[in-house]
Structure 1
């Protein structure tokens, strides 16, 4: 295992499920970015208010620190919706790789409806899609359709890494 992985996407895309399964498959530590939110962020989201960049900054810093501490391998699930948020994570851990779980608002909305009691209400899904900036060519990672089953998602990631050239160590 090389660099840490961030499983990213909007709320309800399956980040926690995929991240935990990927961490188990790769035998590396797993963390959920939801556990890094300060109480004020949780209260705001529970009240149906989207976070702004000022709310996200210290949260992303804490996640970046975790990634740096696990630079030899680890899996973090984190929305990481904007390119600049991912840039903030890369400042802590330049080699981080992203797995974007992508799906339509309709598909993900149905998934969210099946998990009552989560602090992120389904009413904020539209704001998440409005904020989402898909991975760009300058970012390490891949996009996987959430309509696939968990085993296929994990296997898609594993096979994508197996087909990459081996990077030189100590560059």
Structure 2
């Protein structure tokens, strides 16, 4: 009986640990603690299966509405406005906007103004975006117009997120 009780307690501890390590859309937008990466399946970890941008990254959307806001980073309270708000209008208009949440690549000010090529894993639709903001969901928050541009089959809208690959590219 003692071994059965010990096994049951161990199993319950494992289940509680596994449940607490969920993240992303599967867990209501929860982020991973201790700088762990959130996989495309909604689990926290540190290996390439969790952190590699070529293994899938959850992408949601945000209503920056840059055209309606005059391409003004201050008007949308973008994190990068401190450094990039005074860039020429043509620079701010050239690419769609995104918030970058990692898991791989520079973060904070070092990511501001950099560009990503984002590829929808299901349809292979691609777009180049400029990082103007930061986020904490372990993926990307594309401007809604950019999200719609690569959501060519409508599944992203239906699910509330897309699975994408991204890579840093020259702007």
Fold equivalence (TM over 0.5) = no
Q: Which has more strand, going by share of residues?
A: 2
- Larger relative contact order, structure 1 or 2 (CA cutoff 8 Å, min sep 6): 1
TM-score (norm 2): 0.22
Q: Which has more helix, going by share of residues?
A: 1
- Structure number with greater Rg is 2
TM-score (norm 1): 0.22
